[in-house]
Structure 1
Amino acid sequence: MADKEYKSFSEFYPFYLREHQNKTCRRLHFVGSSLILLTLIFIFVTQQWWYFLLLPILGYGFAWVGHFFFEHNRPATFTYPFYSFLGDWVMFKDMLVGKVEF
């Protein structure tokens, strides 16, 4: 079966949340996103630009562990890379404000 074509992010986001029902998976996404933000701050304060190389490892590493070992599904990044990237940050914000359970 072909993957669904989403016409907008608002149409995609409910699917994204269904792919993140496991609390441990969501928490691993949150940890990875938090580490990305902290690493960006560190990079700009210290001007040690090579730390940019860590960003994909931090972001995708934690998220993919959550999907493969806890959620037991295929990360949406493989099919919807742009919407999935946006979804990570919207879900991060939604967890911070209590809209998505952490």
Structure 2
Amino acid sequence: MSGFASFREFYPYYLNEHSDRQCRRMHFVGSTLVLAVIVAALVTGNAWWLLLAPVMGYGFAWVGHYVFEKNRPATFTHPLYSLMGDWVMYWEILRGKVKI
């Protein structure tokens, strides 16, 4: 699928691309580390920490896709919707709506 009229339309596709539990776990770990890096930057007052945010977030997610899911991350075709999907899925995992 290439065109989505809205994030609401994109999100079911996004979830389908994350059907493997290990992939979702990798996303969850990476997103949690992104939050930890942001907290570290705020606590220390050192913005250099923020350089690690994309490495943590995308690094873990991409390993999840290439190693476990065996697909290409949506980041390459739908970067904004994919980023939004990461955080919606993260919140849904925390709420128990998506299982890891």
- 1:79-99 deviations in whole A, cap 9, x for unaligned? 000000000000000000011
Matched residues in 2 for 1:43 and 1:33: separation? 15
Is the 2:31–2:57 contact (alpha carbons within 8 Å) kept by the matching residues of 1? yes
Match of residue 78 from structure 1 = 76
> Aligned with 1:6: secondary structure?
coil
Q: CA RMSD in A?
A: 0.6
Q: 1:17 aligns with which of 8, 15, 26?
A: 15
Identity %: 56
Q: 1:26 aligns with which of 24, 27, 33?
A: 24
Q: Name structure 2 gaps, 5 residues minimum.
A: none
Q: How many residues align?
A: 100
> Aligned with 1:74: secondary structure?
coil
TM-score, normalised with respect to structure 1: 0.96
Partner amino acid, structure 2, of 1:10: R
Q: Name structure 1 gaps, 5 residues minimum.
A: none
TM-score, normalised with respect to structure 2: 0.98
Partner amino acid, structure 1, of 2:74: A
